[in-house]
């Protein structure tokens, strides 16, 4: 139990350090990353006509970054930080997957 508490404490220290370095806050990044997965899912499923795809995807990213007051470079820098911390990244991606699953369930219930 002590080891678990220590690991959680180290994880919080890592998150605080990331935010102090000017990176996107964890909760905000989780929301942004969730929407990035949605945008990339649309792109992968080719739900848009090919001649429109690139422009529409760029518009979605621009709107997403504007809504969360983030620019592309800050997103990339934050993503790289999380990528270099795989244990923390696993937890973050698990939350993203949970949010996506919840969104899918809610959508299916509405139909």
Averages of pLDDT over each 10 residues, the chain, 111 residues = 42 54 92 94 71 79 96 95 95 96 92 71
* DSSP string computed for the chain: -HHHHHHHHHHHHHHHHHHHTTPPPHHHHHHHHHHHHHHHHHHHTT-S-HHHHHHHHHHHHHHHHHHTT--HHHHHHHHHHHHT-HHHHHHHHHHHHHHHHHHHHHHHHH-
Tell me, what's the pLDDT at 2? Answer: 35
């Amino acid at each position: 139990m002590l080891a678990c508490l220590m690991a959680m404490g180290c994880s919080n220290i890592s998150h605080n350090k990331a935010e102090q370095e000017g990176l996107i806050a964890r909760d905000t990044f989780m929301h942004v990353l969730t929407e990035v997965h949605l945008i990339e899912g649309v792109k992968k499923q080719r739900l848009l006509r090919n001649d429109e795809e690139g422009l529409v995807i760029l518009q979605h990213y621009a709107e997403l970054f504007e809504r969360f007051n983030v620019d592309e470079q800050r997103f990339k820098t934050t993503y790289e930080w999380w990528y270099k911390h795989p244990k923390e990244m696993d937890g973050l991606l698990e939350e993203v997957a949970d949010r996506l699953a919840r969104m899918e369930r809610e959508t299916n219930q509405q139909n």
